[in-house]
Amino acid sequence: MITIVGVGHVFDLKQRIREVITERRPDVVCVELDEGRYRAMKHGSEKGKVPLTYRLLANFQNRMAGEYQNEPGSEMLTAIEVADEIGARAEFIDMDAMSLWSNLRHSMPFREKVKLLFSGFATIFTSKKTVERELENFQDHEEEYMELLGEEYPSMKKALVDDRNTYMAMKIREMTKFYRNVLVIVGDAHVSGIVRILGGRDIEVIRLRELQKGRDSEKRENGEVTVSFTTEV
């Protein structure tokens, strides 16, 4: 059995991730991290020089996470913690981020680099409301969104989405050789691609929209103030 959970790295999903893992009690929890990113998140340091665009996008992610009173990637750290609590193994299944960005920087055409750089600067002015609207649009029209991404940034989509989907699916397959119950935590945009690659397997899928609905229901039950939108963020 494979359970694939799609998350949004800026949202506070720690409690929902804890519930999903403790309810299913997997033998192994696979997370969309490599060892370097895990150390950076855990200890607040990052080795090596990263491209300007990556830093801009990382700063944007940090700012958006702050809007939701959250730390970027906290759901991944929570997944690792809960795996340890229930006696499950935790496995990093993502490609090495530093190598990935280095290869992308050298292989990306100049025109695409310029477009991406301006896109990175544009995120400085992106509001929380815009993020919510774009996320809802992605969830309602995922296939069209990914096609457009491939048209606008073909090198980036291949490196950051397609190649990583293939790599993570391969790692998940390896885990199924040793464990009967495998739970996977990945960014929501990776879920459909990984499921297609795995194909023909016993897979349960939990999307970000479902996690967000559950989280908002908990807030209402606890009498907490919730945001006004009615979908998943």
Longest dimension (CA), the chain: 52
**What confidence score (pLDDT) does residue 227 get?**
28
Kindly list the domain boundaries of the chain, sorted by start residue.
2-221
The answer to whether 28 touches 175, Cβ cutoff 8 Å, is: yes
- DSSP assignment, residue 183? E
> Sign of dihedral through CA atoms 10, 110, 166, 30?
negative
pLDDT of 217 over the 60 cut: no
Would you say residue 50 has pLDDT above 60?
Answer: no
Mean pLDDT of the region 88-99: 94
For position 225, what pLDDT does the model report? 32
160 versus 105: which is more confidently predicted?
Answer: 160
